[in-house]
Chain A
Amino acid sequence: MRRSLLFIPANKPGMMQNADIFAADSIIFDLEDAVAFSEKDSARILLHNFLQTFKPNYEVIIRINQIDHINGLLDLEALVSDRIDAIMLPKARTASVKKLAELLASFEKARKLKKTIKIIPLLELAAAILETEAIACLPRVDGILLGAEDLTNDMETERTIIGEEIFYPRSKIAYAAKAYGIDAIDTPFTDVNDDQGLSQDAKKAKNLGMTAKAAIHPNQIRYINEVFSPSKDQIAWALKVLEATKTNLGVFSLDGKMIDKPIIERCQKIIEKAKKYRII
């Protein structure tokens, strides 16, 4: 259960050392697009040393390079350990996710890891969108991130502020994620100075069923968390409903509205989230 995932380039020590302070639920240390080809090795070493030195209070995700390239394999070789929680796989397809799962299993066994490392596929190809359901149901897959920039390149469509061009992939990922109980993570909003635009974009994604959103700048986290956290009104309502269940059995009426099992379950989820995010 995540709300916000913040990309941090793995070759920027000044940004890495502050990863813990922005209230992002997850940090995605990026070895792929943010790091120039000539700096892949130094970034890998820096990230390894960083993870050995600091004990993060957030979920650690590493966006590796593609695993059909030597850099992707070297990333795994250098970084798979109990210090990381998930691998984000760029340009993911069903086959590459399965291959990554096998590689992780062998690393975990050889290194006697105590945890099972999860996979977050990054869907950024038209063909991958068509495979969404097949990918969502794979073991280790814990969430799916929509990569709208590369996807619209692939589709030869324009990215717009309204986002009509990603209505279908957003919806498809949201439904598949819900069906398989994983996170539907929305694509980053790329204008880091447009806070209002970010909020609107996040609300749109949430209404379609996305449960979280990636960020490319720390200043975006507060807006994303605000959208994907239960509001004060929602929490107050949920608490009232749950309190009423103590004295009412089955279906009952509260403030003139019918309360039944799905609503009670929804209230429980709201309170669970509110507690997790320390809102109450």
Chain B
Amino acid sequence: MKNSLGRYVPEGFIPFQSSRAFLEQPRTREKIILSENKGNKKLSSISGAFDRLGIGADMTLSFHHHLRNGDLVMNLVFEEIKSRNLKNMTIAASSIFPNNRILSELIENGNVTNVYTNYLNGEVAKSISEGKLQGMLYMDTHGGRSRAIESGDIKIDVAFIAVPCSDEAGNGNGLSGPSACGSLGYAIPDLLYAKKKVVVTDYLVPKVEYVEIEAKYVDYVVVIDKIGNQSGIESGTTRITRDPVGLKIAETTALLLSELGLIRENFSMQTGAGGTVLAVTRFIREIMEKENVKAGFASGGITHYFTEMLKKGLINKLYDVQCFDLEAVKSLAENPNHHSISAFKYANPYEDAIVNHLDFVILGATEVDLSFNVNVTTASNGLIMGGSGGHADTASGAKVSIIVTPLFKTRLPIIRPEITTITTPGEDIDIVVTERGIAINPKRIDLLEKLKNSHLPIMSIKDLSKIALAYTGIPEVRVKKEQVIGVVRYRDQTIIDTLFQM
């Protein structure tokens, strides 16, 4: 079976139709689960939580990724699964980072046989790409995961929630303590819908002032020495690139936004992290300062570039689902206009989500095809090295979605006739900006009309692809192996693409 984009869909799955098809289906929600534990919730070890909750084979355990590459909680739970040799477990983690490499051992031993996640790289990604996961990998979006959990598509037996600051009852937040990581927005679906919830903290306080994690949902509070390495929160690129190609793309993007009239009073934006994307933020800021324009809000993963703009009054509000650096954590704790939001509020397709109020979003790409479909999940050899995160969510919600990418990286063309994996459908991508030209999705006649007298190098995506191929030659099309290792799910659970063994 194939979906509307011509991609293979395994038996038993629903093929992707379009980014708006889900609106014809009603929202379904399971009952929110409150804790029944009215007694002492405090435990002193992860192992104790396993005993108390009877965690055994075939169960689904979930995690958030706010401690990013500094997370220790996931690894402690994996160690416990390993020592008990539990089999056929399912892991539902909002993201999996290189420091979670122990999971690949569990996968190879058959302890973990199914994985749900929104982003995956490092050793675990390699193991799964090589076909070592006995069951399936389900790659969701951040908004899609919140929908999958509330609808019961992902049924979580126990959620282990790393909470940097908690009281004994389980009220907590991510704002203080030695492992402060800021917003805990991605943990909220797990907190509401998992059958049992275990808060894991290394900073127990008598009273929590700002409550993001509410005790009424929490069954146990495990106090351990250390839940994370704070420096690992700043994984990923949180510095503006000095790469001249990246800067050229960023500058062009800011000029384009200006010509489109998108940098106007009270506008809203999401630009995320990554060297080039951050450089776009810098150039947007220059225009804002020059033209004395203020943004209504910025959202998504928040870096110190946004918090500085908030402090200087260039942005009125920040809606933060994840802090990308420690300055953002500090700002969230101190600035009343810096708000933490849940994954539901950020990007759930059935909510009046923040992504639906964005004037524009700036996104990256690993590959883009001539129909503007984008891959951010796999490298061109099929190795999993990322995932949607909020890519498909923001592309769908924002009024203008812009991909910024070099035309080629080393010898590989990024814009090409055939891409390895589709993560975000081309119908939701409006503009691709490269160092040598800008392609506008032909269905956006309004944007083309606004840019008809522009001096910017606007051309068709076919012409951009031709330029890329003139440098790189036509890449050999990878012959996919037969073994399906997983699926890429659109926000609504339909299958936008299938992942094959590398």
Bound form: Cα–Cα A17–B455 in Å: 23
Selected interface stretch from A146-154, A157-165, A215-223: A215-223
**Are the CB atoms of B455 and A219 closer together than 8 Å?**
no
Q: Residue-by-residue, is A9-37 near B (CB-CB < 8 Å gives 1, otherwise 0)?
A: 00000000110111000000000000000
Does B202 interact with chain A (Cβ within 8 Å)? no
Which residues of chain A come closer than 8 Å to B244, judged between CB atoms?
18, 22, 217-219
Known pairs A17-B471, A219-B242; A22 contacts B248 (CB<8 A): yes
Does A257 interact with chain B (Cβ within 8 Å)? no
Which residues of chain A come closer than 8 Å to B247, judged between CB atoms?
218-219
* Chain A residue at smallest Cβ distance from B436: A21
Does B497 interact with chain A (Cβ within 8 Å)? no
Bound form: Cα–Cα A22–B244 in Å: 8
Which residues of chain B come closer than 8 Å to A217, judged between CB atoms?
244
* Chain A residue at smallest Cβ distance from B247: A219
Q: Which of A18, A193, A217 has the most CB of B within 10 A?
A: A18
Which residues of chain B come closer than 8 Å to A21, judged between CB atoms?
245, 248, 435-436
A147 to chain B, nearest CB (A): 23
Which residues of chain B come closer than 8 Å to A218, judged between CB atoms?
244, 247-248
A276 to chain B, nearest CB (A): 13
Bound form: Cα–Cα A252–B251 in Å: 42
A273 to chain B, nearest CB (A): 15
Q: Residue-by-residue, is A177-212 near B (CB-CB < 8 Å gives 1, otherwise 0)?
A: 000000000000000010000000000000000000
**Are the CB atoms of A278 and B471 closer together than 8 Å?**
no
Bound form: Cα–Cα A20–B244 in Å: 12
Which residues of chain A come closer than 8 Å to B248, judged between CB atoms?
21-22, 218
Bound form: Cα–Cα A17–B407 in Å: 12
Which residues of chain B come closer than 8 Å to A20, judged between CB atoms?
436
Q: Residue-by-residue, is B399-435 near A (CB-CB < 8 Å gives 1, otherwise 0)?
A: 0000000000000000000000000000000000001
Bound form: Cα–Cα A231–B321 in Å: 42
B436 to chain A, nearest CB (A): 6
* Chain B residue at smallest Cβ distance from A23: B248
Dominant SS at the A interface?
Answer: loop
Bound form: Cα–Cα A193–B244 in Å: 12
- The number of chain B residues with a CB under 8 A from chain A is 10
**Are the CB atoms of A278 and B455 closer together than 8 Å?**
yes
Q: Which residues of chain B (453-502) have a CB below 8 Å from chain A?
A: 455, 471
Q: Residue-by-residue, is B230-258 near A (CB-CB < 8 Å gives 1, otherwise 0)?
A: 00000000000010110110010000000
Which residues of chain A come closer than 8 Å to B435, judged between CB atoms?
18, 21
A13 to chain B, nearest CB (A): 11
Bound form: Cα–Cα A18–B410 in Å: 12
Q: Which residues of chain B (437-465) have a CB below 8 Å from chain A?
A: 455
B279 to chain A, nearest CB (A): 10
B378 to chain A, nearest CB (A): 25
Bound form: Cα–Cα A201–B435 in Å: 28
Which residues of chain A come closer than 8 Å to B251, judged between CB atoms?
222
Q: Residue-by-residue, is A81-114 near B (CB-CB < 8 Å gives 1, otherwise 0)?
A: 0000000000000000000000000000000000
Bound form: Cα–Cα A217–B248 in Å: 13
Which residues of chain A come closer than 8 Å to B245, judged between CB atoms?
18, 21
B249 to chain A, nearest CB (A): 9
Bound form: Cα–Cα A200–B178 in Å: 44
B138 to chain A, nearest CB (A): 39
* Chain A residue at smallest Cβ distance from B435: A21
Bound form: Cα–Cα A97–B442 in Å: 54
Q: Which of B248, B251, B435, B471 has the most CB of A within 10 A?
A: B248
B483 to chain A, nearest CB (A): 37
* Chain B residue at smallest Cβ distance from A220: B244
Bound form: Cα–Cα A22–B436 in Å: 10
* Chain B residue at smallest Cβ distance from A221: B244
Which residues of chain A come closer than 8 Å to B471, judged between CB atoms?
17
* Chain A residue at smallest Cβ distance from B248: A21
Bound form: Cα–Cα A219–B251 in Å: 11
Bound form: Cα–Cα A21–B471 in Å: 14
Bound form: Cα–Cα A222–B283 in Å: 12
Which residues of chain A come closer than 8 Å to B455, judged between CB atoms?
278
A94 to chain B, nearest CB (A): 37
Bound form: Cα–Cα A193–B242 in Å: 9
* Chain A residue at smallest Cβ distance from B251: A222
Bound form: Cα–Cα A46–B47 in Å: 63
B151 to chain A, nearest CB (A): 47
Bound form: Cα–Cα A123–B247 in Å: 32
Bound form: Cα–Cα A218–B243 in Å: 9
List the 7 closest A-B pairs by CB distance, nearest first. Answer: A218-B244, A21-B435, A219-B244, A278-B455, A21-B248, A219-B247, A18-B245
Q: Using a CB–CB distance below 8 Å, which chain A residues touch chain B? A: 17-18, 20-22, 193, 217-219, 222, 278
16 residue pairs of the A-B complex, CB under 8 angstroms, read A17-B471, A18-B244, A18-B245, A18-B435, A20-B436, A21-B245, A21-B248, A21-B436, A22-B244, A22-B248, A217-B244, A218-B244, A218-B248, A219-B242, A219-B244, A222-B251
Further 19 A-B residue pairs, CB within 8 A, beyond A18-B244, A21-B248:
A17-B471, A18-B245, A18-B435, A20-B436, A21-B245, A21-B435, A21-B436, A22-B244, A22-B248, A193-B242, A217-B244, A218-B244, A218-B247, A218-B248, A219-B242, A219-B244, A219-B247, A222-B251, A278-B455
Q: Using a CB–CB distance below 8 Å, which chain B residues touch chain A? A: 242, 244-245, 247-248, 251, 435-436, 455, 471
